Chains A and B, each alone.
Chain A
Amino acid sequence: MTFPLYLILILYLLAIIFYLILSVVLLYHIFRFGYWDSSTKLMIFLYFAGSLIILVSAGIYIAGIDWSENVSILNNTEFNINFF
């Protein structure tokens, strides 16, 4: 079976879009119903910082991959070593 590598990237990007939508919903709740004190500001800052660290790290890694390649698995009777 052969499939393009960028399929994995598309799945990851869909997960990120879902994550961003939920983040917007949470931020809407905090701005609509919350009280703007130091703990709120700190928590929002930590949330953005943590998310950015993970996303930027993933972005740097993704930028270094050649996504145009194809992945072939289970093509032969023997296990395809190239998968690893």
Chain B
Amino acid sequence: MDPYKYFPDRRPNEEIVMLLRRHWHSMLRHFLLFVVEFFLPLAALFAFFYFTDFVFEKESPVGIVIILASSAYFLFIWLFFFNHWIDYYLDVWIVTNQRILNIEQEGLFSRTISELNLEMVQDATSEVKGKVATVLNFGNVYVQTAGEEKRFVFEEIPAPRQVASKIIELHQSAVKRAAVEEMKEATSKSLGEKDTISSPQKNETKTF
């Protein structure tokens, strides 16, 4: 699959520099919750049958209800865990050589895409808070902008300090590139004006 399918309106000469997702630690709590929800009822059922005299035949109506209800329960637990993973997976920050995109999946049928031109970046700050974040090196990056959305936030991304530095570097390159293009445009405009002034006087001698 095309890596650029994340944003179909790719600009000319635009290349992806960084494709970022939340650190795996943010999925860890969902995974632990899944493990608890999956194994705790099993443990509870075993304990119940072990410590009580309650007995039933597996072909009896009670047995059928318990087994089919358990099957449906585990299927839905598995489905919800997959849903959490998709939510984590589809939240992406893309930094290209021209802009920053924030693609956020909010639930199943809601998706928000924000973008920011690199020339509009004013500041990039990284933040790592807490023992776990320090050990695993993940945190937030806040990008101050001159645009309508004053602050772009990268949440719980790995290596936030390096990401912030890279954004500043790309911003400086983008500003230089924009200045060069502006100069080229200004030069070509002024050359064009000179041509229109000089062209009616065909007998004028040009000196260099």
Q: Which residues of A contact B (CB under 8 A)?
A: 5, 8-9, 12, 15-16, 19, 22-23, 25-26, 29-30, 33-36, 39-40, 43, 47, 50-51, 54-55, 57-58, 61-62, 64-66, 71, 73, 83-84
Contact = CB atoms under 8 A, between A and B. Distances in A.
Contacts of B74: 54
Contacts of B39: none
B60 interface: yes
A57 B71 contact: yes
A82 B90 CA distance: 52
Interface in B60-83: 60-62, 64-65, 67-68, 71-72, 74-76, 78-79, 82-83
B79 A35 contact: no
Contact of B108 (A15, A26, A50, A54): A26
A54 B71 CA distance: 6
B68 A8 contact: yes
11 contacts: A9-B68, A12-B71, A29-B105, A30-B86, A33-B105, A34-B86, A35-B3, A43-B89, A61-B58, A65-B59, A84-B57
B61 A15 contact: no
B132 interface: no
Given A22-B79, A43-B85, A16 B72 contact: yes
B176 interface: no
A29 B88 CA distance: 12
Contacts of A57: 71
A83 B56 CA distance: 9
B71 A43 contact: no
B56 A30 contact: no
B197 interface: no
B191 interface: no
A56 B26 CA distance: 32
B162 to A, nearest CB: 21
A25 B108 contact: yes
Given A9-B68, A19-B72, A58-B68, 6 more contacts: A15-B75, A16-B72, A19-B75, A35-B19, A65-B64, A66-B59
Contacts of A84: 55-57, 60, 62
